[in-house]
Structure 1
């Protein structure tokens, strides 16, 4: 069973391990490895002051397998992101998580639009977003990568 819980300190170590995967970092547009201490400081800082962000841990039963969230929440609009540990890719877990978020109104709380930036080579993610009602909007450049801005409107 897939669960989504608010991110907490207990998920920092697993998050760091997941983000060590080079393929995940490439698809998630992270150009460099982040050291453990920097990663830990980032998440501890976020937990103290989430600002315009909401982060959730994704669990299969009790195992932490990834994270998702909303960032840059502003003017009834937010950016959605999701990543899973590589061994869970292609198993439909991303689709389950996205459906749960939509059904539970995480996307719709005072939001008129949710968007995501997806690397143009990440066909699985593009398909995932399209299956869940997102539409391709624009191509833009981020960190020397061509990405597609995908949007879901109320």
Structure 2
């Protein structure tokens, strides 16, 4: 386990997570605001191999982790802390649809911020959210992020908001 919150355990992904990761990434409702389409098993397997390899290479700027319920150890999603193209630290997450509405997104966001600010000493964290993703917008705003940009993304056909939170 890498991170812990009240109800969630966050750990490295492993190759045995393929089935659950594919369940997550093949759900069109989960992927609607991420890739605008579900991923194939082949795409998921390739992505999982890349993530596991990144652990071996100790790539701290590309950290994608499994999110599990602490009590049952059930895999319920993934989260990420990634240095983006602009060299800014970006957080994100995706959760199995049956686990939406239980406050896990907020709990996860709070824990990722603690990790970034207190454990990694990162000065600024950003999050990108499509405007139609109302629940994630609310989670980001309720966690003290400030809107710094909004632009239309022609590829996905929606506005994408960039939020920022500074380590104060």
Change (3 A) 1:100 1:93: same
Which position in structure 1 is the counterpart of 2:39? 34
Q: Deviations over 1:98-151 (max 9, x none)?
A: 222223x23551421111110101111011011112111110233232111011
Secondary structure, counterpart of 1:59 in structure 2: strand
**Aligned mates of 1:57, 1:15 — CA distance in 2:** 9
Matched, 1:46 2:62: no
Secondary structure, counterpart of 2:78 in structure 1: strand
**Aligned mates of 1:137, 1:73 — CA distance in 2:** 16
Which position in structure 2 is the counterpart of 1:139? 150
Secondary structure, counterpart of 2:116 in structure 1: coil
Which position in structure 2 is the counterpart of 1:98? 109
Change (3 A) 1:77 1:146: same
The correspondence of residues 1-150 of structure 1 with structure 2, limited to 5 A, is 1-28=7-34, 30-49=35-54, 51=59, 52-60=61-69, 61=71, 62-72=73-83, 77-103=88-114, 105-108=115-118, 109-142=120-153, 143=155, 144-150=157-163
Higher relative contact order (CA 8 A, sep 6+): 1
RMSD: 2.0
Task: Verify the 8 A CA contact 2:116 2:125 in the aligned structure 1.
Answer: no
Structure 1, 120-129 or 46-55: larger mean CA deviation: 46-55
Task: Verify the 8 A CA contact 1:68 1:80 in the aligned structure 2.
Answer: yes
TM-score, L = length of structure 2: 0.80
Change (3 A) 1:149 1:73: closer
Instruction: Compute the displacement of 1:75 (Å).
Output: 7.7
TM-score, L = length of structure 1: 0.87
Give the unaligned 5+ runs of structure 2: 1-6
Secondary structure, counterpart of 1:149 in structure 2: strand
Task: Verify the 8 A CA contact 1:58 1:64 in the aligned structure 2.
Answer: yes
